Structure 1
Amino acid sequence: MLQLINISFAFAKAKTLKNISLKIEQGTHVAVIGESGCGKSTLLDIVYGLLQAKKGKVLWNQEELLGANHHLVPGHCMMKYVPQEFDLMPFTTVYENVGEYLSIQNDDRRNRILELLDVVDMRDFIDRKVKTLSGGQKQRVAIAKALAQEPQLLLLDEPFSHIDNFRKNALRRKLFDYLTLKNISCLAATHDHDDVLSFCHKTVIMKKGEIIDFRPTSQVYGTPKNVYTASLFDEVNLIPKEWLETAADQILYPYQLIVADKGFKVKVKQCFFQGADYLIVALKDEKEVFFRSKEAISIGADVFLTSIL
């Protein structure tokens, strides 16, 4: 179990993390999301021991981890970290990189390497030099290398940022299935809500160095505490209570507004085809409103909207 207690950190005079407290049970997958510069990567660096917290404690199974000021070589044996800059040996092969820390006396060494390359769909590149790989391929090799020693906690910083969209979903499924099978905890900093919704049990929302929400992912998404949180997942509407005659203002995603015979009237400004439906941008009282429609709607058309909630 990983536990952070009142962690604070500052670069020079700019306070980056403020009183961060967090508990992650073994086998739990947690996403950390927030705007750029909110402290996501710094948080991972402190957990792994690359940076020293100015205040607070990092505990692993109730034992304090002392951090960068107390270790010549950063990192902890029970954790592996895949940062945005991959720690790979460019002039050696994919096979040699993944097997770097596996004993050559291990009879099952080759099968272990092949198993991990299957997880990240890189078996076909086993004999390729890392320097010849694309950014996305290097990222997949870095993930396999981190898993080679079966850490108890995997730290990922923007883990799929370099990977082609058509490959991301399959890779996510394989990776998180593997982590579940091996009971490996995961703390992943990401800006991509698709990394979060289907694959992480819990989600941390960060803003300006602080945790403003930490709940099961379905709750964070389904009942966002504020517009900022909702905006990390999709376009978002803050609908004044007067528009739908509700007790309070409502935070609504585009799919939660539908065209109806009555409700509040908007004028269509833009219409974007998105495959399964259209994202419509409309105006009411000069305020933008986002909703979805199965059919295209003409620019300038007036429609009434109501909530499905």
Structure 2
Amino acid sequence: MLRIENVSFSYGNSPVLEDINLRIQRREHIALIGESGCGKSTLLKIIYGLMDLEEGRLFWEDEPILGPAFNLVPGAPFMKYLSQDFDLMPFTTVTENISQYLSVFYPKELKERTQELLELIELTEFADKKVKTLSGGQQQRVALARVLAQKPEILLLDEPFGHIDNFLKNNLRRKIFKYLKDNGITCIVATHDFNDVLPFTDRVFVLRNTNIIAKGRPIELYKNPRDLYIASLFGEANSIAIDILKSYANTKRKIIVYAHEFRISEASGIETEVERCYPMGSHFLIEGKIENNETLFFHSKTELSMHKKVFLNVSLETINQRLQTTLDP
């Protein structure tokens, strides 16, 4: 188990993390999500031992994790960290980078292990290419293979697919997270992309204003977001008063409604004027204005013309579900 106890950290006079407490089990996959600057990357660096703590303690099982004031070389043999700076050897080959930390005393195992990882990251045809000739996305894949080559017990990933092309990203995600599960590697990923979170992680922690403001199973946080900030990390969302959704309701309390949860009607509901229409491939994202000049985002299967009037509805099931979880304004 990884234990993070009462951890606080500041850059100068600016607090970044305050009183963070986490318990992460072996083999568990965890996501840290939140807006830029919320402390995700800083927390990964602290866990890895790149920074000295102002307050708090960290342990892997019963072994303390200490910062540079105690360790000349940061990190520990049981843990690896893939940062957004890949730290590769640019003038050597992909194969040489991946096998850098593998033992040359076992050449057969070294070759097999390197080949396995080249296939995992889908770069076998680039095995003998120098890293400096690769694209940013390819270099990110090499850096990922290099940390996996060392078979860590804990792997810390900071935006691990941020530089990788979309047409490769989805398949690579599936392969990498399956590999980590199959090999019993505990994983903590800091990400902006909910596609890294919903299908692949066991729990998610939401950071904002130096604190963890929500935690739980990804699908539960997605279905029952407590506020607009949390919902917006999973997709386009709106905060809207119930008396606007249902005119007979005698309450100004607001709930969260995702754009895809609105249903369009030609006859009744919230009267909305189309302001903009964004093609999204499988649907159109519509920006509309309602009577009180509030902006709403909703999905449409077809393109809607500017200034067209439509009516929006939300199911009672969705309203009742959100009433149980959404905080009062």
Range into which the TM-score falls when normalised by the shorter chain:
over 0.9
User: What CA distance in whole angstroms lies between the structure 2 residues aligned with 1:288 and 1:244?
Assistant: 14
How far apart in 2 are the matches of 1:176 and 1:238? 33
CA positional deviation for 1:272:
1.2
How far apart, CA to CA, are the structure 1 residues paired with 2:98 and 2:272?
Answer: 56
One-letter amino acid of the counterpart of residue 271, structure 2: K
The alpha carbon displacement at 1:241 in A equals 1.3
CA contact (8 A) 2:206 2:230 kept: yes
Which letter does structure 1 place at the counterpart of 2:311?
Answer: F
Indicate the percent of aligned positions where both proteins have the same amino acid. Answer: 45
CA RMSD of aligned residues (A): 1.2
Q: Distance in 2 between matches of 1:287 and 1:101?
A: 57
* TM superposition shift of 1:176: 0.3
Contact 1:243 1:263 in 2 (8 A): no
2:289 corresponds in structure 1 to: 283
State the Cα deviation string for residues 79-107 of structure 1 (Å, max 9, x = none).
11110111211111111111111101123
- 1:245-287 CA distance string (max 9 Å, x none): 3564210110111113422111111111111111111101211
**1:237-256 → structure 2 map (5 Å cutoff):** 237-245=238-246, 248-256=253-261
Does 2:187 correspond to 1:186? yes
Count, aligned residues? 309
Is 1:258 aligned with 2:259? no
Report the CA distance between 1:210 and its aligned residue.
Answer: 1.1
Paired residues of 2:88 and 2:143 also in contact (CA < 8 A): yes
TM-score, with structure 1 as normaliser: 0.97
**Corresponding residue of 1:154:** 155
Alignment of 1:118-197 (within 5 A): 118-197=119-198
Contact 1:31 1:188 in 2 (8 A): yes
- What runs of 5+ residues in structure 1 fail to find an aligned partner? none
Supply the distance in 2 between the matched residues of 1:34 and 1:295 (Cα, whole angstroms).
32
d(CA) in 1 for partners of 2:128, 2:209: 44
Q: Which sections of structure 2, spanning at least 5 residues, go unmatched? A: 319-329
Quick one: distance in 1 between partners of 2:39 and 2:313? Answer: 38
* Deviation for aligned residue 1:42: 0.5
Alpha-carbon distance in 2 for matches of 1:281, 1:273 = 12
Partner of 1:295 in structure 2? 302
**In the alignment, structure 1 residue 270 sits paired with structure 2 residue 271:** no
1:149-172: per-residue Cα shift (whole Å, max 9, x none)?
211111011111111111100110
> In 1, are the aligned partners of 2:48 and 2:65 still within 8 Å (CA)?
no
2:313 aligns to what? 306
Counterparts of residues 28-67 of structure 1 (less than 5 Å): 28-67=28-67
Question: How far apart, in 2, do the equivalents of 1:124 and 1:20 lie?
Answer: 44
